[in-house]
C-alpha cells in the first residue's frame, strides 16, 4: 500500500544492533520512546536494526551497552556504515548507553586495553580504569546547562545502574550531562556522569534509563519532533508506575550509598 501524497512518515525509533548490544536490556529505551509517542497519538515505528544490515534512517537512535568484543564490532560496523554520522548532520537524536556511549566518542579500549576508534559524534575518550569495575546503582543530578524540558525546567535526578570498566573523560566539544550523587559515572575524578552535544546524549545509566527517567525520554521525543518541524503533543501521561519505580530505586541507591563495597567489584583476571 503506498502512502497518501503529503502524508508524513511515522516517527522512527531505531534500536541499533540488538544482536551485539543487547546484554543490558537497553533495547527497552526504544520501547519506552515508541510507547510514549503512541500514547500521545503519534504515528510511530520501532525498528530493530541488526548488525548484518545497513542502518536504516530514523529520527531517534538508541545504542545499548554490551561486552568488549561485540562493542568493537559494533563500532567498526557503524563507522563503515556511515548512516549515524549523516543522520546526526540531518538532526537525528542519538542516545548511547555505556558501550553505546563509549563508541559514540573518539576512542575506547577493548578487553586487552588496545584503543579502538569510535564514531567521534561525542567529544569523549574512554580508557581502561583501575582494576575496579563500577557496578551498582547510579544517581546523578542533571547539570544546570544540560538540556531542559520544553518549559525550561531542569530534568529531575537521573537514576539507573552502571556496570563498566571504562573511564570516560569529556573534551571541550561536549558537556557533562549530570553530576554523580551515588555511584561512579564517568569515573575520571571530576564527578561527572554522561555527556551531551547537540542532540547526541551518552550515559552510563542502564535501567533501561528511559524507563526510570521518563522526562529524559520526553526530551528526546521533543527534540526528534522539532527536527521534523513538529511538536510533542500536550498530552498528560499518568506515569504512576514509572514514578513508583523511580522512588523505589532512589531509596535503594540511598541504602547502597551506605555500603560502598556493593558498588565496586574486582574485575575478573583474564
Binder among 29, 71, 83, 197 for ligand GLN (CB under 6 A): 71
CB-based closest residue to ligand GLN: 65
Burial-class residue 9 by CB neighbours within 10 Å (0-12, 13-18, 19+): exposed
Residue 98 known to be catalytic? yes
Binder among 24, 61, 161, 196 for ligand GLN (CB under 6 A): 24
Nearer CB in complex with ligand GLN: 147/165 = 165
Q: Is 66 in the site for ligand GLN (CB under 6 A)?
A: yes
Binder among 28, 30, 165, 185 for ligand GLN (CB under 6 A): 165
Provide, rounded to whole angstroms, the least separation between the CB of residue 164 and ligand GLN: 3
Choosing from 62, 98, 116, 164, the catalytic residue is: 98
Nearer CB in complex with ligand GLN: 110/123 = 110
Q: Is 46 in the site for ligand GLN (CB under 6 A)?
A: no
Burial-class residue 267 by CB neighbours within 10 Å (0-12, 13-18, 19+): middle
- Per-residue buried b or exposed e for 41-63, using 16+ beta carbons within 10 Å of the residue's own CB: ebebebbebebeeebeebbbbbb
The single residue listed with the C-alpha cell 509517542 is 37
Contact 154, 229 (CB under 8 A): no
Half-sphere exposure of 119 (CA within 13 A, CB side): 29
Residue 206 known to be catalytic? yes
Strand partners, 193: 178
The single residue listed with the C-alpha cell 561536549 is 174
Provide, rounded to whole angstroms, the least separation between the CB of residue 70 and ligand GLN: 9
Catalytic residues: 98, 206
Positions in the binding site for ligand GLN (CB under 6 A): 24, 65-66, 68, 71, 98-99, 163-166
Amino acid at each position: 500500500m503506498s502512502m497518501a501524497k503529503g502524508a508524513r512518515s511515522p516517527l522512527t525509533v531505531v534500536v541499533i544492533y540488538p544482536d551485539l548490544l543487547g546484554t543490558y536490556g537497553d533495547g527497552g529505551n526504544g520501547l519506552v520512546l515508541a510507547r510514549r509517542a503512541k500514547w500521545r497519538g503519534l504515528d510511530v515505528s520501532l525498528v530493530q536494526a541488526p548488525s548484518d544490515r545497513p542502518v536504516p534512517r530514523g529520527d531517534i537512535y538508541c545504542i545499548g551497552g554490551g561486552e568488549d568484543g561485540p562493542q568493537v564490532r559494533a563500532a567498526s560496523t557503524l563507522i563503515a556504515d556511515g548512516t549515524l554520522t549523516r543522520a546526526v548532520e540531518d538532526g537525528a537524536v542519538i542516545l548511547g548507553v555505556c558501550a553505546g556511549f563509549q563508541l559514540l566518542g573518539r576512542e575506547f579500549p577493548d578487553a586487552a586495553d588496545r584503543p579502538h576508534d569510535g564514531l567521534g559524534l561525542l567529544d569523549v575518550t574512554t580508557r581502561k580504569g583501575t582494576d575496579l569495575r563500577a557496578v551498582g546503582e547510579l544517581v546523578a543530578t542533571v547539570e544546570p546547562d544540560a538540556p531542559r524540558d520544553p518549559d525550561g525546567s531542569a530534568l529531575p535526578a537521573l537514576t539507573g545502574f552502571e556496570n563498566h570498566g571504562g573511564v570516560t573523560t569529556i573534551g571541550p566539544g561536549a558537556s557533562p550531562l549530570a553530576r554523580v550523587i551515588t555511584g561512579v559515572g564517568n569515573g575520571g575524578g571530576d564527578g561527572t556522569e554522561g555527556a551531551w552535544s547537540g542532540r547526541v546524549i551518552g550515559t552510563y545509566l542502564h535501567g533501561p534509563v528511559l524507563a526510570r527517567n521518563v522526562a529524559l525520554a520526553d526530551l528526546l521525543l521533543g527534540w526528534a519532533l522539532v527536527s521534523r518541524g513538529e511538536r510533542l503533543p500536550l498530552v498528560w501521561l499518568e506515569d504512576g508506575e514509572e514514578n513508583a519505580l523511580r522512588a523505589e530505586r532512589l531509596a535503594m541507591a540511598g541504602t547502597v550509598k551506605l555500603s560502598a563495597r556493593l558498588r565496586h567489584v574486582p574485575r575478573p583476571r583474564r
